[in-house]
Homo-oligomer: A and B are copies of this chain.
Amino acid sequence: TDFVESLPVKVKYRVLALKKLQTRVANLESKFLREFHGIERKFAEMYQPLLEKRRQIINGIYEPTEEECEYKSDSGGYNDDEIYDEEEIQATTEENKEEEDPKGIPDFWLTVLKNVDTLTPLIKKYDEPILKLLTDVKVNLSGPGELLSFTLEFYFKPNEYFKNEVLTKTYVLKSRLAYYDPHPYRGTAIEYCTGCEIDWNEGKNVTLKTIKKKQKHQIWGTIRTVTEDFPKDSFFNFFTPHGSSSNGRYVNDDFLLGHNLRTYIIPRSVLFFSGDALESQQEGVVREVNDAIYDKIIYDNWMAAIEEVKACCKNLEALVE
């Protein structure tokens, strides 16, 4: 850089020496990232039985015992309301005799995904019946010898929409940080990601809009109907493989979403389901919305002021005439 070139030559060489030291730091960082991933892998295994039990409860495979339901809210002391109340259950069970007892926790994952503010806008009405069929969302970390990566796995009940049992998206992590990676432990340390091909059943692909067009033969004048497919907004575009050629902003948003799903949303999904995790999220949303409202108010005020002055001008003009 020009600045370094402008330094006295001896100072310049000292800076080069520091840069050389820096490459050694970068090599250590790379080892650090591997070791860090190793710890994540170890803890992923420790979480595994808890996540498996979660899956079973959600899907009605396992019914939690009374003791397992005795959740005491974190905010100090016993909270009688939240403790398994056998009488209440029995009373309600009697009442609800006519309504079907739902299996597990219906719409668990759809509700979770819809409660993530960066996902909400991606989920369209026609995606919802498919997302209701989610039985589990898992994170799979790369093994010890492999390229550092994590894979998000979305498991579905057998369904009429596609043949896949699981849809996946793999995020390959940087195993060595570049100068311009400011937050080593954040989503930006993702190198690239790959989606998966969804094997849609005939006419069930929600990511395509089929348009029928009539074509007239140039010579014979006969008319035929052709159909053409256009891409359509859908949550399932999340699985479309995309490379570095895509729009930078979109890729960054996708990387951050992948990172958040992995470190936060999937491991704490119940808090998104129940709404507990929304509180702080909403703070950010509220602030953003407020900013937009604020801008709007300022704009409106200016517009009103100008209209007022204009009207005043018109009145004066009328007077002059």
Distance between Cα atoms of A271 and B179 in the complex (Å): 7
Which label, helix, strand, loop or mixed, suits the secondary structure of the A interface? helix
Residue numbers in B under 8 Å from A119 (CB-CB) = none
Q: Which of A16-31 contact B (CB under 8 A)?
A: 16-25, 28-29, 31
Would you call A19 and B96 a contact (CB within 8 A)? no
A143 contacts the other chain (Cβ, under 8 Å)? no
Q: Would you give the 0/1 interface string for A11-43, flagging 1 where the beta carbon is closer than 8 Å to chain B?
A: 101111111111111001101100110011001
Residue numbers in B under 8 Å from A180 (CB-CB) = 277, 279-281
Residue numbers in B under 8 Å from A126 (CB-CB) = none
Residue numbers in B under 8 Å from A320 (CB-CB) = 316, 319-320
Q: How many residues of A contact B (CB 8 A)?
A: 89
A-B contact pairs, 27 of them (CB 8 A): A1-B276, A8-B92, A9-B93, A13-B64, A13-B84, A14-B69, A14-B104, A15-B273, A17-B57, A18-B58, A18-B105, A19-B270, A20-B68, A21-B50, A25-B50, A28-B46, A35-B43, A36-B36, A180-B279, A183-B186, A183-B263, A309-B310, A312-B313, A313-B313, A316-B317, A316-B319, A316-B320
Q: Would you give the 0/1 interface string for A277-321, flagging 1 where the beta carbon is closer than 8 Å to chain B?
A: 101110000000000000000000010011001101100110110
Q: A88-B9, A179-B276 are in contact. Are A54 and B102 (CB under 8 A)?
A: no
- From B11, B17, B36, B268, A22 is in contact (CB under 8 Å) with B268
Residue numbers in B under 8 Å from A183 (CB-CB) = 186, 260, 263-264
Distance between Cα atoms of A312 and B64 in the complex (Å): 76
Would you call A71 and B309 a contact (CB within 8 A)? no
Closest to A83 in B: B16
Would you call A43 and B69 a contact (CB within 8 A)? no
Interface-centre pick from A96, A263, A270, A302 (highest chain B CB count, 10 A) = A270
